[in-house]
A and B are shown apart, each in its own frame.
Chain A
Amino acid sequence: MSDASGEQLAVFLSGNRAAFAPGERIEVAVLWALARAPGTIDVRLFWTTRGKGTEDVELVEQARIDATAVAGEERRTFTLPEAPWSFSGKLISLVWGVEVVVASTGRAERCEFVVAPGAEEIRLHEFTTRPAGPG
Protein backbone atom coordinates (compact mmCIF):
# COMPACT_ATOMS: atom_id res chain seq x y z
CA MET A 1 0.00 0.00 0.00
CA SER A 2 0.96 3.67 -0.21
CA ASP A 3 3.32 5.13 2.39
CA ALA A 4 4.06 8.71 3.45
CA SER A 5 6.44 9.23 0.53
CA GLY A 6 3.76 8.18 -1.97
CA GLU A 7 5.52 4.91 -2.79
CA GLN A 8 3.23 1.96 -3.38
CA LEU A 9 3.46 -1.79 -3.10
CA ALA A 10 0.28 -3.82 -3.21
CA VAL A 11 -0.92 -7.38 -3.70
CA PHE A 12 -4.38 -8.49 -4.84
CA LEU A 13 -5.98 -11.86 -5.45
CA SER A 14 -7.90 -12.78 -8.58
CA GLY A 15 -11.39 -11.29 -8.51
CA ASN A 16 -10.63 -9.76 -5.11
CA ARG A 17 -11.84 -13.04 -3.62
CA ALA A 18 -11.08 -13.83 -0.01
CA ALA A 19 -11.90 -17.55 -0.02
CA PHE A 20 -10.95 -20.49 -2.22
CA ALA A 21 -11.37 -24.24 -2.37
CA PRO A 22 -8.38 -26.58 -2.01
CA GLY A 23 -6.75 -27.28 -5.36
CA GLU A 24 -7.96 -24.05 -6.96
CA ARG A 25 -5.62 -21.92 -9.02
CA ILE A 26 -5.22 -18.37 -7.75
CA GLU A 27 -3.85 -15.44 -9.65
CA VAL A 28 -1.85 -12.91 -7.67
CA ALA A 29 -1.52 -9.37 -8.98
CA VAL A 30 1.45 -7.36 -7.71
CA LEU A 31 1.58 -3.59 -8.26
CA TRP A 32 4.44 -1.31 -7.36
CA ALA A 33 5.44 2.32 -7.77
CA LEU A 34 8.66 2.94 -5.89
CA ALA A 35 11.38 5.58 -5.92
CA ARG A 36 13.88 3.01 -7.20
CA ALA A 37 13.39 -0.08 -9.33
CA PRO A 38 12.98 -2.88 -6.78
CA GLY A 39 15.03 -5.38 -8.80
CA THR A 40 13.53 -8.56 -7.40
CA ILE A 41 10.14 -9.03 -5.82
CA ASP A 42 9.41 -12.37 -4.20
CA VAL A 43 5.82 -13.60 -4.17
CA ARG A 44 5.23 -16.13 -1.41
CA LEU A 45 2.28 -18.44 -0.82
CA PHE A 46 2.20 -19.44 2.84
CA TRP A 47 0.04 -20.45 5.76
CA THR A 48 0.48 -19.41 9.36
CA THR A 49 -1.13 -20.06 12.70
CA ARG A 50 -2.48 -17.28 14.87
CA GLY A 51 -3.62 -17.30 18.45
CA LYS A 52 -2.39 -17.86 21.97
CA GLY A 53 0.72 -19.84 21.13
CA THR A 54 3.84 -19.28 19.07
CA GLU A 55 3.17 -18.75 15.38
CA ASP A 56 3.92 -21.60 13.02
CA VAL A 57 4.62 -20.55 9.43
CA GLU A 58 5.11 -22.66 6.33
CA LEU A 59 6.22 -21.34 2.97
CA VAL A 60 4.32 -23.42 0.41
CA GLU A 61 5.50 -21.95 -2.89
CA GLN A 62 7.48 -18.97 -4.07
CA ALA A 63 7.63 -17.09 -7.38
CA ARG A 64 9.95 -14.30 -8.42
CA ILE A 65 9.36 -11.08 -10.32
CA ASP A 66 12.26 -9.33 -12.02
CA ALA A 67 11.16 -5.74 -11.51
CA THR A 68 13.57 -3.50 -13.38
CA ALA A 69 11.17 -0.54 -13.70
CA VAL A 70 10.25 1.84 -10.87
CA ALA A 71 6.56 1.09 -11.45
CA GLY A 72 4.75 -1.90 -12.85
CA GLU A 73 2.23 -4.69 -12.51
CA GLU A 74 2.90 -8.40 -12.73
CA ARG A 75 0.81 -11.51 -12.16
CA ARG A 76 1.77 -14.92 -10.88
CA THR A 77 -0.38 -18.01 -10.41
CA PHE A 78 -0.30 -20.69 -7.74
CA THR A 79 -2.23 -23.91 -7.38
CA LEU A 80 -3.48 -24.24 -3.84
CA PRO A 81 -2.67 -27.57 -2.18
CA GLU A 82 -5.36 -29.87 -0.81
CA ALA A 83 -4.37 -29.13 2.79
CA PRO A 84 -4.16 -27.69 5.37
CA TRP A 85 -7.58 -26.07 5.51
CA SER A 86 -8.28 -22.71 7.10
CA PHE A 87 -9.83 -23.10 10.52
CA SER A 88 -10.47 -21.13 13.69
CA GLY A 89 -11.01 -22.01 17.29
CA LYS A 90 -10.60 -20.04 20.50
CA LEU A 91 -6.92 -20.92 20.84
CA ILE A 92 -5.67 -21.23 17.28
CA SER A 93 -6.50 -20.20 13.73
CA LEU A 94 -4.84 -21.31 10.53
CA VAL A 95 -4.66 -18.55 7.96
CA TRP A 96 -3.50 -18.67 4.34
CA GLY A 97 -1.81 -15.71 2.71
CA VAL A 98 0.24 -14.32 -0.13
CA GLU A 99 3.10 -11.99 0.69
CA VAL A 100 5.18 -9.88 -1.65
CA VAL A 101 8.63 -8.84 -0.51
CA VAL A 102 11.05 -6.43 -2.18
CA ALA A 103 14.26 -8.39 -1.79
CA SER A 104 16.56 -5.36 -1.62
CA THR A 105 14.70 -3.45 1.09
CA GLY A 106 12.59 -6.04 2.88
CA ARG A 107 9.46 -3.97 2.29
CA ALA A 108 6.49 -6.33 2.29
CA GLU A 109 2.75 -6.44 1.80
CA ARG A 110 0.42 -9.37 2.24
CA CYS A 111 -3.18 -10.40 1.84
CA GLU A 112 -4.83 -13.25 3.66
CA PHE A 113 -7.56 -15.60 2.55
CA VAL A 114 -9.43 -18.80 3.34
CA VAL A 115 -8.66 -22.21 1.84
CA ALA A 116 -11.26 -24.80 2.78
CA PRO A 117 -13.92 -26.99 1.19
CA GLY A 118 -16.81 -24.82 0.12
CA ALA A 119 -14.47 -21.84 0.46
CA GLU A 120 -15.62 -21.40 4.04
CA GLU A 121 -13.37 -21.35 7.10
CA ILE A 122 -13.92 -24.28 9.44
CA ARG A 123 -15.08 -23.14 12.88
CA LEU A 124 -13.91 -25.59 15.52
CA HIS A 125 -16.43 -24.56 18.16
CA GLU A 126 -19.27 -25.66 15.91
CA PHE A 127 -18.08 -29.21 16.42
CA THR A 128 -17.28 -28.93 20.10
CA THR A 129 -20.25 -26.99 21.48
CA ARG A 130 -23.14 -28.44 19.49
CA PRO A 131 -25.64 -30.03 21.89
CA ALA A 132 -25.90 -33.77 21.70
CA GLY A 133 -28.83 -35.07 19.70
CA PRO A 134 -31.44 -37.57 20.88
CA GLY A 135 -30.19 -41.06 21.63
Chain B
Amino acid sequence: MLPARDNPFAVHRVLRQRYRLDESGWAALLARLDAQGGRGAIVGPHGSGKTTLLEDLAPRLESRGWRVHVLRISAEERVIPQAFLRQMAPSLGARDALLIDGAEQPGLAAWWSLCLRARRAGALVATVHRPGRLPLLHCCVTSPELLRALVVALGETLGPAEAVALHARHRGNLREALRELYDAAAARGGITSSEAGV
Protein backbone atom coordinates (compact mmCIF):
# COMPACT_ATOMS: atom_id res chain seq x y z
CA MET B 1 0.00 0.00 0.00
CA LEU B 2 1.16 3.52 -0.77
CA PRO B 3 0.71 5.55 2.43
CA ALA B 4 -1.33 8.71 1.89
CA ARG B 5 1.61 10.86 3.06
CA ASP B 6 3.71 9.52 0.17
CA ASN B 7 1.08 9.82 -2.53
CA PRO B 8 2.52 12.20 -5.16
CA PHE B 9 -0.94 13.74 -5.60
CA ALA B 10 -1.57 14.35 -1.89
CA VAL B 11 -3.15 17.74 -1.29
CA HIS B 12 -0.15 19.15 0.58
CA ARG B 13 1.98 18.52 -2.52
CA VAL B 14 -0.60 19.83 -4.97
CA LEU B 15 -1.00 23.03 -2.96
CA ARG B 16 2.70 23.78 -3.37
CA GLN B 17 2.05 24.27 -7.08
CA ARG B 18 1.32 27.92 -7.69
CA TYR B 19 -0.62 29.68 -10.43
CA ARG B 20 1.30 29.63 -13.71
CA LEU B 21 1.70 33.31 -14.58
CA ASP B 22 5.04 34.73 -15.70
CA GLU B 23 6.33 38.17 -14.69
CA SER B 24 4.89 39.90 -17.75
CA GLY B 25 1.56 38.27 -16.99
CA TRP B 26 1.68 39.58 -13.43
CA ALA B 27 2.66 43.06 -14.64
CA ALA B 28 -0.30 43.08 -17.06
CA LEU B 29 -2.68 41.86 -14.36
CA LEU B 30 -1.58 44.51 -11.87
CA ALA B 31 -1.71 47.24 -14.53
CA ARG B 32 -5.26 46.15 -15.41
CA LEU B 33 -6.24 46.30 -11.75
CA ASP B 34 -4.90 49.87 -11.55
CA ALA B 35 -6.68 50.84 -14.77
CA GLN B 36 -9.97 49.45 -13.42
CA GLY B 37 -9.77 51.58 -10.27
CA GLY B 38 -8.64 48.66 -8.12
CA ARG B 39 -11.67 46.52 -8.96
CA GLY B 40 -11.47 43.16 -10.65
CA ALA B 41 -12.85 39.64 -10.92
CA ILE B 42 -10.83 36.48 -11.32
CA VAL B 43 -13.18 34.36 -13.37
CA GLY B 44 -13.09 30.65 -14.03
CA PRO B 45 -14.84 27.33 -13.46
CA HIS B 46 -14.23 24.96 -10.53
CA GLY B 47 -10.65 23.71 -10.32
CA SER B 48 -9.18 26.29 -12.68
CA GLY B 49 -6.87 27.99 -10.16
CA LYS B 50 -8.88 31.04 -9.10
CA THR B 51 -8.14 30.67 -5.39
CA THR B 52 -4.47 29.94 -6.06
CA LEU B 53 -4.18 33.08 -8.18
CA LEU B 54 -5.93 35.13 -5.49
CA GLU B 55 -3.50 33.74 -2.87
CA ASP B 56 -0.55 34.57 -5.09
CA LEU B 57 -1.88 38.07 -5.70
CA ALA B 58 -1.86 38.90 -1.97
CA PRO B 59 1.93 39.13 -1.43
CA ARG B 60 2.32 41.08 -4.70
CA LEU B 61 -0.16 43.67 -3.48
CA GLU B 62 1.53 43.77 -0.05
CA SER B 63 4.88 44.40 -1.70
CA ARG B 64 3.26 47.40 -3.42
CA GLY B 65 2.19 48.84 -0.08
CA TRP B 66 -1.35 47.51 0.19
CA ARG B 67 -2.83 46.20 3.44
CA VAL B 68 -4.40 42.95 2.28
CA HIS B 69 -7.51 41.43 3.84
CA VAL B 70 -8.85 38.08 2.70
CA LEU B 71 -12.50 37.11 3.00
CA ARG B 72 -13.53 33.54 2.20
CA ILE B 73 -17.19 32.79 1.57
CA SER B 74 -17.78 29.06 1.71
CA ALA B 75 -20.16 27.18 -0.55
CA GLU B 76 -21.66 25.56 2.55
CA GLU B 77 -22.58 28.75 4.40
CA ARG B 78 -22.98 31.15 1.45
CA VAL B 79 -23.18 34.17 3.75
CA ILE B 80 -20.89 37.09 4.35
CA PRO B 81 -19.39 36.72 7.85
CA GLN B 82 -20.94 39.15 10.32
CA ALA B 83 -17.51 39.91 11.79
CA PHE B 84 -16.50 41.33 8.43
CA LEU B 85 -19.61 43.46 8.09
CA ARG B 86 -19.40 44.83 11.63
CA GLN B 87 -15.68 45.23 12.19
CA MET B 88 -13.55 45.08 9.07
CA ALA B 89 -15.71 46.79 6.46
CA PRO B 90 -16.08 50.15 8.26
CA SER B 91 -12.31 50.39 8.76
CA LEU B 92 -11.31 49.87 5.12
CA GLY B 93 -9.47 52.74 3.45
CA ALA B 94 -7.63 53.79 0.31
CA ARG B 95 -4.60 51.51 0.95
CA ASP B 96 -6.68 48.47 1.90
CA ALA B 97 -7.10 45.67 -0.63
CA LEU B 98 -9.99 43.31 0.02
CA LEU B 99 -9.63 39.89 -1.63
CA ILE B 100 -12.82 37.82 -1.67
CA ASP B 101 -12.74 34.12 -2.46
CA GLY B 102 -16.13 32.75 -3.47
CA ALA B 103 -17.93 35.96 -4.42
CA GLU B 104 -20.60 34.05 -6.33
CA GLN B 105 -21.80 32.39 -3.11
CA PRO B 106 -23.92 35.20 -1.63
CA GLY B 107 -27.05 36.32 -3.45
CA LEU B 108 -26.99 39.44 -5.61
CA ALA B 109 -28.48 41.69 -2.91
CA ALA B 110 -25.93 40.51 -0.32
CA TRP B 111 -23.14 41.01 -2.85
CA TRP B 112 -24.11 44.61 -3.60
CA SER B 113 -24.48 45.26 0.12
CA LEU B 114 -20.94 43.97 0.58
CA CYS B 115 -19.66 46.19 -2.25
CA LEU B 116 -21.35 49.19 -0.67
CA ARG B 117 -19.73 48.50 2.69
CA ALA B 118 -16.34 47.93 1.05
CA ARG B 119 -16.58 50.98 -1.23
CA ARG B 120 -13.78 52.82 0.60
CA ALA B 121 -11.32 49.97 0.03
CA GLY B 122 -8.70 50.97 -2.52
CA ALA B 123 -8.83 47.55 -4.14
CA LEU B 124 -11.48 44.85 -4.32
CA VAL B 125 -10.68 41.60 -6.12
CA ALA B 126 -12.97 38.59 -6.08
CA THR B 127 -13.06 35.08 -7.51
CA VAL B 128 -16.25 34.16 -9.37
CA HIS B 129 -17.40 31.44 -11.72
CA ARG B 130 -18.99 33.84 -14.21
CA PRO B 131 -18.26 37.46 -15.17
CA GLY B 132 -20.59 40.24 -14.14
CA ARG B 133 -20.11 41.16 -10.51
CA LEU B 134 -16.87 43.10 -11.07
CA PRO B 135 -14.88 44.12 -14.17
CA LEU B 136 -12.88 41.20 -15.54
CA LEU B 137 -9.33 41.07 -14.20
CA HIS B 138 -8.20 37.61 -15.25
CA CYS B 139 -9.83 34.57 -16.78
CA CYS B 140 -8.50 31.22 -15.49
CA VAL B 141 -8.32 28.65 -18.25
CA THR B 142 -6.96 25.11 -18.03
CA SER B 143 -5.65 22.78 -20.72
CA PRO B 144 -4.32 19.25 -21.05
CA GLU B 145 -0.82 20.75 -21.38
CA LEU B 146 -1.23 22.57 -18.05
CA LEU B 147 -2.42 19.34 -16.44
CA ARG B 148 0.64 17.52 -17.77
CA ALA B 149 2.94 20.28 -16.52
CA LEU B 150 1.44 20.01 -13.03
CA VAL B 151 1.84 16.24 -13.02
CA VAL B 152 5.48 16.57 -14.05
CA ALA B 153 6.03 19.19 -11.34
CA LEU B 154 4.67 16.64 -8.87
CA GLY B 155 7.37 14.19 -9.98
CA GLU B 156 5.15 11.94 -12.09
CA THR B 157 4.43 11.48 -15.78
CA LEU B 158 1.29 11.65 -17.88
CA GLY B 159 1.13 10.90 -21.58
CA PRO B 160 -0.36 13.51 -23.96
CA ALA B 161 -3.36 11.35 -24.89
CA GLU B 162 -3.95 10.48 -21.23
CA ALA B 163 -3.83 14.17 -20.36
CA VAL B 164 -6.39 15.04 -23.03
CA ALA B 165 -8.74 12.28 -21.86
CA LEU B 166 -8.34 13.12 -18.17
CA HIS B 167 -8.82 16.84 -18.79
CA ALA B 168 -11.96 16.17 -20.85
CA ARG B 169 -13.34 13.67 -18.33
CA HIS B 170 -13.23 16.32 -15.61
CA ARG B 171 -14.31 19.18 -17.91
CA GLY B 172 -11.14 21.12 -17.24
CA ASN B 173 -11.36 20.81 -13.45
CA LEU B 174 -7.71 20.19 -12.55
CA ARG B 175 -8.48 19.61 -8.87
CA GLU B 176 -10.72 16.68 -9.77
CA ALA B 177 -8.28 15.38 -12.38
CA LEU B 178 -5.49 15.33 -9.78
CA ARG B 179 -7.82 13.56 -7.34
CA GLU B 180 -8.34 10.83 -9.91
CA LEU B 181 -4.58 10.52 -10.24
CA TYR B 182 -4.35 10.32 -6.43
CA ASP B 183 -6.74 7.37 -6.44
CA ALA B 184 -4.84 5.70 -9.26
CA ALA B 185 -1.53 6.10 -7.40
CA ALA B 186 -3.10 4.77 -4.18
CA ALA B 187 -4.49 1.76 -6.02
CA ARG B 188 -1.18 1.12 -7.73
CA GLY B 189 0.69 1.25 -4.41
CA GLY B 190 4.36 0.44 -4.20
CA ILE B 191 7.26 2.82 -4.12
CA THR B 192 6.98 6.16 -5.85
CA SER B 193 9.72 7.54 -8.03
CA SER B 194 10.54 10.16 -5.38
CA GLU B 195 10.95 7.49 -2.68
CA ALA B 196 13.20 5.50 -4.97
CA GLY B 197 15.37 8.57 -5.41
CA VAL B 198 14.74 8.69 -9.16
Contact = CB atoms under 8 A, between A and B. Distances in A.
Interface of A: 48, 50-55, 88-93, 95, 121, 123, 125
Interface string B2-16: 111111001110010
Interface of B: 1-7, 10-12, 15, 179, 182-183, 186
A54 B3 CA distance: 16
Contacts of A54: 11
A124 to B, nearest CB: 8
A58 to B, nearest CB: 15
A48 B2 CA distance: 18
Contacts of B10: 50-52
A90 B5 contact: no
A51 B1 contact: no
A95 to B, nearest CB: 6
Given A90-B186, A91-B186, A53 B11 contact: yes
Contacts of A53: 11
A93 B3 contact: yes
Contacts of A125: 1
Given A88-B1, A89-B3, A90-B4, 15 more contacts: A48-B12, A50-B5, A50-B11, A50-B12, A52-B179, A52-B183, A54-B11, A55-B11, A88-B3, A89-B1, A89-B4, A90-B2, A92-B4, A93-B3, A123-B3
